[in-house]
Structure 1
């Protein structure tokens, strides 16, 4: 039986008892009251159910009850049961915000169906309020949103180590927010006023990587490397598990000696920095397989922070989505949309392999009015929208088969590079989520 209550108010004992049985048979929780004052005592602004009340009652009639309920929370749904002579009064209540009225005599199924709709509307109202609260939380500066035990523990661990000058390894799947965690660690540390330098170890230009990282002395154009620019600050090494073998050895020296040797230099250069590295899950297996140096991992792994994927903290998804939804609306100069049943179902049912990054793209689509990918959504979509949806589905399917290999996917789809990436951007597809 549903735990969300319906408050039934009717001074007619026989009718009230009969309706209680009908609601219970329909698997709906119900609390019965003989007068409006008793029902009001049960209410608060956070009440998550609905009210069904007769209009004609002594002392406090249904209209007065409706007005008092609206004063507590005008979005609590109230269904009024009316006799034939009270229909004009009930219509007036509808105009004032009542959810529905049921004229006597009525079929019980009719009342139950209206009650179910009222409960669903109330759930949507409260969901939207929670989403807005999450947005306010994000706007207040706490960007690592989540109240599940795993996220609370992560924030606590981050606070404990942020101001300790130790190197840190962040482990998390694609899209979980590893760089965000790194930036927060820097922001919460004593180095906050110094540079934060991020380096993607998987995307270094081979020909100039050493000069780019370590700098160059002598010649016509001596230059400072990116690692030197992190002096007195924090160096973030993203996708450290993808760094080539030559770089792993050089990084080990940086970690152990806190010095760099620019290209063409005879003497090393001291650097004062805090190293934060990030990796996808599986770096320990890479060590066993010989693809990553064990001594480098041991040096990095003084403190390891694991970011849980969204599928492990589903209760955080509505809160996080609320922040991302308001952020997307601000960026696009659009109103924040109400969250309907299809979007709420998608949030709870989808596995979110792309994690927060995928959720952010979904929030942008929601702001643009694009429907969730539910099975029956296409019935209500225009032809152009259905074509767009089909195209996105084909691209996702090809990316799954090619495991995110862009070149193979472009070949199978027979698309030039620019068109391929334009379509990825338009459909909010993150190619990294398909890479193994």
Structure 2
């Protein structure tokens, strides 16, 4: 994607060389020889990314980065450059919010890969913010029950701390949503939020997926490295193999990542939030969870209540999800009469918030007007949702005036949303229903803006 890049370096040859490389890739480039020139350019123009040298006369790169952070949110990703870099300098830069750190002499492949990922991350961040402004957030905590408010108060106090959090609770209670909320209220909010779903990482690819790789084909950053300056969410960590647990524990302890095939460690600056629905003490006793990793993650344990323990929140949650799905999918919101809300409160909700969200999404897609008891009863009894007013529920409406690509995306999105609802939110079951390979499916869900939760 063509972008406007600002290069800040006191050496004319380096600025010129970077300009030639970046313009050959289709980017527009502006140059600044020092902090004063950079301030002037940033005051007059918007940039998509900044390449910032650390060692400059006067105000150096770290000081300039700190100045931007103190003034507020970084409007674009910043990639630091240095020919005299140390691990401490790189850690300080990423702690302040730099996207990455590259050493001089700058390798062409490393530069272009890092810049491409920084621009992609910025594009996704802007798209997510725009979507949240339009429809609200699925991750916004909703509920006034004492049980939920107690948890929220604890998380609010801990949001600005960097200590590891461990969210414990039944499957589907919204642990990832709470982790995202903590991230959004922390001083790392401008950094990435990266999820490691241990059970979804294939064993043969787990090391590369987590730690990245280096080789003749280039450098690939793993999930840990992608989380630099942000939050790493570890879901069901006991499902990782013992060797990977040990390697992960070492990376977190040393705050460094060694890529598969790599020789030099990469600085790691992340806040870790782990989650589990399992009995972790039993997993330790059975040898499936290493002590080192358990004690690293169990610094601040938080118990997330089951939905049946916060019954007064069921109605507000259902209406919250309905408003979001209606706005996102372009359909009118449903009305929720008292009789329906009372029936929802009587349900045991074995799938917790995830089950309620799935039911709400199906009702949003398949019906209109006032929600009826005969719509929700089959779902609460474990049957498929039926809607007499939508007898052609397998027919997806399409706007044939759209360009082919937009119409196809609309169909794929509606199809995958329907199948995801039928799969109860399970991506594994969705892969079976759709006949798609899981890796390709995850990519497709991401491209279509579908959150698997």
TM-score (norm 1): 0.54
Q: Which consecutive residues of structure 2, in runs of 5 or more, have no partner in the other structure?
A: 1-134, 395-415, 430-453
Partner of 1:247: 244
1:202 aligns with 2:199: yes
Partner of 1:259: 256
> Deviation digits for residues 25-75 of structure 1, max 9, x if unmatched?
xxxxxxxxxxxxxxxxxxxxxxxxxxxxxxxxxxxxxxxxxxxxxxxxxxx
In 2, Cα distance between equivalents of 1:352 and 1:386: 28
Partner of 2:343: 346
In 2, Cα distance between equivalents of 1:317 and 1:215: 41
Distance 1:167 1:221, change over 3 A: same
In 1, Cα distance between equivalents of 2:328 and 2:336: 18
In 1, Cα distance between equivalents of 2:187 and 2:390: 54
Partner of 1:177: 174
1:222 CA drift (Å): 2.5
Q: Tell me if structure 1 keeps the 8 A contact 2:211–2:223.
A: yes
Partner of 2:184: 187
Q: Which has the higher contact order (CA 8 A, sep 6+)?
A: 1
1:425 aligns with 2:420: yes
In 1, Cα distance between equivalents of 2:350 and 2:209: 33
Partner of 1:311: 308
In 2, Cα distance between equivalents of 1:387 and 1:232: 45
1:383 CA drift (Å): 12
The one of 265, 270, 281 equivalent to 1:268 is: 265
1:384 CA drift (Å): 9.2
In 2, Cα distance between equivalents of 1:183 and 1:387: 33
Alignment size in residue pairs: 266
The one of 355, 359, 362 equivalent to 1:362 is: 359
1:428 CA drift (Å): 6.0
Distance 1:296 1:359, change over 3 A: same
Distance 1:385 1:428, change over 3 A: farther
1:227 aligns with 2:224: yes
1:373 aligns with 2:377: yes
Partner of 1:237: 234
> Deviation digits for residues 378-428 of structure 1, max 9, x if unmatched?
9x975996999xxxxxxxxxxxxxxxxxxxxxxxxxxxxxxxx99853646
1:297 CA drift (Å): 0.7
Alignment RMSD: 3.5
In 2, Cα distance between equivalents of 1:206 and 1:382: 46
Q: Tell me if structure 2 keeps the 8 A contact 1:361–1:428.
A: no
The one of 138, 152, 157 equivalent to 2:154 is: 157
In 2, Cα distance between equivalents of 1:196 and 1:387: 36
Q: Which consecutive residues of structure 1, in runs of 5 or more, have no partner in the other structure?
A: 1-137, 389-420
Distance 1:386 1:276, change over 3 A: same
Q: Secondary structure at the match of 1:202?
A: helix
Q: Tell me if structure 1 keeps the 8 A contact 2:138–2:324.
A: no
In 2, Cα distance between equivalents of 1:423 and 1:141: 18
Distance 1:381 1:334, change over 3 A: closer
Partner of 2:437: none
1:338 CA drift (Å): 2.3
In 2, Cα distance between equivalents of 1:305 and 1:164: 14
Distance 1:282 1:140, change over 3 A: closer
Q: Secondary structure at the match of 2:181?
A: helix
1:281 aligns with 2:253: no
